[in-house]
Chain A
């Protein structure tokens, strides 16, 4: 008679009346069973209590640590629970025989480290850290490992998941075969304790980074430094690179005599190996560049097949081999961050600022398409299924576009519209949301310094005018002063078809922020001859327009954005060919380009 609990003595009369009615109406009311809960699901503690042969010790820990209250209540948790065997092993390692002998604080920490304030099924596990941090304040790291033909999820590289995705009323339980131990050492201590890294330990000490890597993350005021990521080079890798002793390594870099000075190359070298935030290998893969503690220096990242490469860059058409992350010795968690190891040493690359003549149609994702500069004319969409098809191009709202955004290649170039490499982006830009309001392109590697930015296009009266910006919405955002109006001919520079053939024409165009970027029929390079006419019909279709000067702060790939400023705009009327980044003090006029995609130097 569960119902009766709800009545109190004062309502006894009422009770009698109701009972009388009940007896009259439903004679069998005594036997009815009522469920009082809304669901039969148990909560986390209930589940553990249901299988005491496996989890009785975890139940004891939860009770003793005083966490039973909230683990039994409603909520959204993920608990990694060790089995009894695992806890016994853990107790033994601590020199204890029962849970009662453990200090309450330690048990509390143990629970906190096994508990996440979110429901995370194995389908959200990655090769790196879990998307949520534990209540203890350190990330758990996941992966998969194969053992005699059976693969299992593994947590912190040490504990196998033996039973996963047990759904209970207030979350998810995963069973692990070892107690997870939070990292107790800081990055500095952890690296120091590892005999593979004596060079780096010494260098961290001498440059002063040892102290900043040796802090308790939770107490750091600067929240960006709560977790740090260190990329290490092992002693053997440095020895293989020719540094037989630490002294020789130090002598190679430290030139000022004071390694703690921020201008000392050893300080910069070590700073270049540290970044802020907990960056596990999958995070490295998905981020294009790691911002290091060395001022304005980034490490670029690349994912190729199964390899994670650092600083593998194409620079001026030459691929510079990068260094491989050694995944076996990476993703090592410390109390205030994570460290990785690379197979070969890498240092800040000292680069000389050079011009970048960038054909926007030369994108890695397009190059892998056999139609790209193939044997026949081809069109490859840049937006398909509401998303960009290229990793190097971003659009404002591609899901709404109905008008085509294409890459185009012409096997036989048009008589009056010529492009470098005979290919270009044929864009539908405009104010209407059916077209793109802006397009953002990821540049090739730009060495830090000041550049003049030239937008090279083919004129079309139905196109629009653009504001050009660099790294909009990102660090170091810059907007360039000149409006680049794709409706303008080269004659907008003030040169007309008569004066265009004069030797003075190029200089006059430059002063007004215009240039020819395609080679003329009078210009040759090897066996090739340019195809553009100096002043006959169609001479002014191909326009190089100066957008302004940009100050690039970090040597990295940047983003350049073209934003429409007009009310109009037609479909397939904006023909973007190249973008030139030329150092301010270099020749802005040459080289010029050709339908073969070859640069013609000045003669």
Chain B
């Protein structure tokens, strides 16, 4: 997962999650090492031939999961010490990771082939047609429900609890999935399971906050992370060449200083949002969240408690009469992060759109460069039959090159354009796949 297998030349899964979640949004910009294809994606100028539309890394991981699910039960035949509980725990991890991969695929490509059996030998390969996003989401939900019932609550070690799937990973992912499906009561229920476990809490906003939560990782804030620490025998994260090397591909965008982390207007030296300077260097816009060393061992954060809290706040905001509760959640997070007054907002508890906007802004601060921004914007834009499409068109008006701005805005009015095309290579090997209609013309 964290690196392509030997002899496979592909980017690591984490890099794809980062790129697909950030490239089309407004929080990163092109650095000196950016490629033409990446620049085109920044400009919302995407063609099916682009190498950035590969989904191999996700499906490779899905295949690992399928292999476990297919063959794990037969291990009992040769190893009588494997208990049912142990076997189920392994199965719950595979089901959850597979669901997580399909969730990324649905959010990125919308309709994708649903492959639920392993491809362990050549005869296992099959040409699959696409399933609709609704079908895939239904499968994700049923898999996660199954996983929740058999998942463990603890592995007996903090680091392992964060780096492997627990019940709470399942709940957090399911909350995210429910919110994507606009199932607000389901989302709140899943969030409450995580919050009420009392196992996760925000750390205080002191000088060691970044070190605890990101640099060392596995803190009380983290629900699930991809572990990159040397001490666990893992591989370093992939981000040195992406965001740190002299010819880095991406830098933080000016949105970070003009909107996300505005300095305090009274005493900007002492009153600071603890997230700002820990996430990027404001003098040269280098992204420092994933470490500054080469190699860097900072863990990739998948779900933290603040994510669950803000998912809950968004679900609450979309229900009637819960606006005040949603605002209270946001304000609590801002307090713990020492957010400055200048970035505060005072939405009316009855004004759903204003509260959701506030949540989007707070999420952009909390989850900057975590591969979530594009999906957050799209989730809000597509809700209620794209009532808030302007969230995307307003964003793109400020991010793409002026010479293609009008085209980019017009393209975004076609909802098919919000999902990436199936890459030409995949269409070639699987004739049953049908290209997203936006990219055929």
* A interface residues with partner B (beta carbon < 8 Å): 121-123, 125-128, 142-146, 149-153, 160-165, 167, 175, 282, 285-286, 303, 305-306, 327, 368-371, 374-381, 384-387, 399
Contact B248 A164 (CB under 8 A): no
Contact B264 A151 (CB under 8 A): no
Bound Cα distance from A247 to B160, whole angstroms: 86
Instruction: Indicate if B413 sits at the interface (CB-CB under 8 A).
Output: yes
Contact B268 A376 (CB under 8 A): yes
CB distance from B81 to the nearest CB of A (A): 55
Contact B31 A385 (CB under 8 A): yes
Contact A161 B284 (CB under 8 A): no
Contact with A along B87-115 (1 / 0, CB 8 A): 00000000000000000000000000000
What residues of A have a CB within 8 angstroms of the CB of B32 in the complex? 385-387, 399
Instruction: Indicate if B143 sits at the interface (CB-CB under 8 A).
Output: no
Query: Which one, B17-25, B41-49, B130-138, B166-174, is touching chain A?
Result: B41-49
Contact A306 B397 (CB under 8 A): yes
Instruction: Indicate if B402 sits at the interface (CB-CB under 8 A).
Output: yes
Contact A125 B263 (CB under 8 A): no
Contact A123 B402 (CB under 8 A): no
Contact A146 B403 (CB under 8 A): no
Given A370-B262, A387-B32, is A380 in contact with B283 using a C-beta cutoff of 8 Å? yes
Query: Which one, B4-12, B67-75, B359-367, B404-412, is touching chain A?
Result: B404-412
CB distance from B382 to the nearest CB of A (A): 13
Contact A151 B417 (CB under 8 A): yes
Contact B284 A285 (CB under 8 A): no
Contact with A along B260-274 (1 / 0, CB 8 A): 001111111100000
CB distance from A326 to the nearest CB of B (A): 13
Given A162-B441, A369-B258, A385-B284, is A144 in contact with B47 using a C-beta cutoff of 8 Å? no
B284 (CB) vs chain A CBs: closest residue: A384
Instruction: Indicate if B251 sits at the interface (CB-CB under 8 A).
Output: yes
Instruction: Indicate if B15 sits at the interface (CB-CB under 8 A).
Output: no
Contact B410 A144 (CB under 8 A): yes
Bound Cα distance from A377 to B438, whole angstroms: 50
Contact B407 A127 (CB under 8 A): yes
Partner of A127, one of B248, B254, B264, B405: B405
Instruction: Indicate if B374 sits at the interface (CB-CB under 8 A).
Output: no
Given A128-B403, A282-B403, is A146 in contact with B410 using a C-beta cutoff of 8 Å? yes
Contact B407 A143 (CB under 8 A): yes
A125 (CB) vs chain B CBs: closest residue: B407
15 contacting pairs across A/B (C-beta < 8 A): A125-B407, A144-B407, A146-B410, A149-B413, A149-B414, A150-B438, A164-B440, A165-B48, A175-B441, A306-B406, A374-B263, A374-B265, A375-B268, A379-B283, A384-B284
CB distance from B21 to the nearest CB of A (A): 21
Contact B413 A151 (CB under 8 A): yes
Contact A146 B414 (CB under 8 A): yes
CB distance from B425 to the nearest CB of A (A): 13
CB distance from B343 to the nearest CB of A (A): 11
Question: Top 10 A-B pairs ranked by shortest CB distance?
Answer: A151-B414, A282-B403, A144-B410, A384-B284, A144-B407, A376-B268, A127-B406, A285-B402, A123-B45, A146-B413
A370-B263, A379-B283 provided; 6 other pairs, C-beta below 8 A?
A: A121-B49, A125-B45, A376-B268, A376-B269, A381-B283, A381-B284
What residues of B have a CB within 8 angstroms of the CB of A128 in the complex? 403
Contact A151 B251 (CB under 8 A): no
CB distance from B46 to the nearest CB of A (A): 7
Instruction: Indicate if B357 sits at the interface (CB-CB under 8 A).
Output: no
B266 (CB) vs chain A CBs: closest residue: A375
Contact A123 B410 (CB under 8 A): no
Contact A306 B407 (CB under 8 A): no
Contact with A along B372-407 (1 / 0, CB 8 A): 000000000000000000000000011000111111
What residues of A have a CB within 8 angstroms of the CB of B265 in the complex? 374-375
* B interface residues with partner A (beta carbon < 8 Å): 31-32, 40, 45-50, 246, 248, 251, 254, 257-258, 262-269, 282-285, 342, 397-398, 402-417, 437-438, 440-441
Contact B49 A165 (CB under 8 A): yes
What residues of B have a CB within 8 angstroms of the CB of A121 in the complex? 47, 49
Contact A306 B268 (CB under 8 A): no
Contact B47 A165 (CB under 8 A): yes
Contact A385 B403 (CB under 8 A): no
What residues of A have a CB within 8 angstroms of the CB of B342 in the complex? 370
A126 (CB) vs chain B CBs: closest residue: B403
Bound Cα distance from A242 to B398, whole angstroms: 37
What residues of B have a CB within 8 angstroms of the CB of A144 in the complex? 406-408, 410-411
Contact B46 A123 (CB under 8 A): yes
Contact B413 A123 (CB under 8 A): no
Bound Cα distance from A374 to B269, whole angstroms: 11
What residues of B have a CB within 8 angstroms of the CB of A146 in the complex? 410, 413-414
CB distance from A131 to the nearest CB of B (A): 10
Bound Cα distance from A145 to B407, whole angstroms: 8
Bound Cα distance from A163 to B441, whole angstroms: 4
What residues of B have a CB within 8 angstroms of the CB of A369 in the complex? 257-258
CB distance from B422 to the nearest CB of A (A): 14
Given A370-B262, A385-B284, is A127 in contact with B48 using a C-beta cutoff of 8 Å? no
What residues of B have a CB within 8 angstroms of the CB of A377 in the complex? 269
What residues of A have a CB within 8 angstroms of the CB of B49 in the complex? 121, 165, 167
Given A376-B263, A384-B284, is A143 in contact with B268 using a C-beta cutoff of 8 Å? no
A308 (CB) vs chain B CBs: closest residue: B402
Bound Cα distance from A153 to B258, whole angstroms: 33
Contact A143 B414 (CB under 8 A): no
B410 (CB) vs chain A CBs: closest residue: A144
CB distance from A499 to the nearest CB of B (A): 43
Bound Cα distance from A127 to B285, whole angstroms: 30
What residues of A have a CB within 8 angstroms of the CB of B268 in the complex? 371, 374-376, 378
Partner of A285, one of B266, B403, B407: B403
What residues of A have a CB within 8 angstroms of the CB of B48 in the complex? 165
Contact B414 A370 (CB under 8 A): no
Interface centre among A144, A175, A285, A305 (most CB of B within 10 A): A144
Contact B402 A375 (CB under 8 A): no
CB distance from B10 to the nearest CB of A (A): 22
Contact B403 A143 (CB under 8 A): no
Bound Cα distance from A122 to B412, whole angstroms: 16
What residues of A have a CB within 8 angstroms of the CB of B411 in the complex? 144, 151
A174 (CB) vs chain B CBs: closest residue: B441
Bound Cα distance from A144 to B402, whole angstroms: 14
B248 (CB) vs chain A CBs: closest residue: A385
